[in-house]
Amino acid sequence: MQEQFDLPLICIKADNLAEGWERAVIACWEQGAAIETQYDREGDPPSRDVSLALAVRNPFNEPRIHRALPGGIYDLEIYRQEVVLGVHDHWIAPDEGKWQYTYHERIEAYSLPDGRVINQLDYVVDALANAPHTRRAQISIWKCWEDAGIDDPACLQRMWFRVYGDRLVMSCHMRSNDAFKASYMNMYAFTDLQRLVAERLSERLGREIAVGQYSHIVDSYHIYGSYFEEMEKFLETVEVRTWEQRTWTMADVEPMIEDARERIDQHLERERERMKERE
């Protein structure tokens, strides 16, 4: 008889991001423990919850895009820009009841109680350029003096980088991750940051460092009870549609991404104009 654990640990190896996400979500649905959450509404069934260790051999292998991603290509692109480029850092204003942080701010402008500000991305590139095999190249997101007790504490905890041969591997560790409605967008954006580090490191070392394995490690990888009907419809599409019908390559969505970037630029310009008017 197989020994039962309180919280199942799911280990998945996949060739690309779309495959890894789909298999992780289905495994959470099929093997997840039933646990209530702090966000349940009256009548919601308990969530399904696992701990996840997902390794994607090459996150830029095609197909990279899963068509069941939450929202659409516009939402995916603006989230990527939020994490990698910091396009929403100006929304941080906790004293005004706005955002308390962004991942980009924590990555590139991590502020300490003594007033110091650390660009952790620069630190990672410097550490890897000096010793590509170092085990010390990591980025911390959590601030125990700020995040404990706030309404929306950071889910991402840290990012870890290391060079193996000529490939940059990256592991992202999350305390909590909405499997169905958020994790694909997280993986997509985080791996784009991995690409950025690989490019900067290539310049520093004078040789090409390619994007290597991406690992997505989560303490609580869950599907909320309020999503169960949508999840069941997703499972139906997995049964009736081919893999090609469930995914896109980057070439497939390039026109949609270009359109999204134009719309995002226009939206951000309008925001900048409104901010100038208020000054």
At the topology level, CATH places domain 9-65+114-244 in Thymidylate Synthase; Chain A (3.30.572)
Gap between the Cα atoms of 8 and 20, Å rounded: 18
SS3 55: strand
Q: Which contacts of 225-230 are long-range, i.e. CB under 8 A and separated by 24 or more positions?
A: 225/37, 225/40, 225/44, 225/45, 225/46, 225/47, 226/40, 226/41, 226/44, 227/180, 227/181, 228/45, 230/180
Q: Letter for the amino acid at 13?
A: K
Q: What is the DSSP letter of 30?
A: H
Task: Encode pLDDT of 66-111 as tens digits.
Answer: 999 989 999 999 999 999 999 999 999 988 889 999 999 999 999 9
Gap between the Cα atoms of 167 and 162, Å rounded: 8
As given in the structure block, the two tokens for residue 193 are 């940051």
**Model confidence at 2: pLDDT above 60:** no
**Among candidate residues 136, 137, 160, 158, the one with its CA nearest the CA of residue 147:** 158
Task: Encode pLDDT of 10-55 as tens digits.
Answer: 999 999 999 999 999 999 999 999 999 988 889 899 999 999 999 9
pLDDT of amino acid 113: 95
Task: Encode pLDDT of 136-187 as tens digits.
Answer: 999 999 999 999 888 889 999 999 999 999 999 999 999 999 999 999 999 9
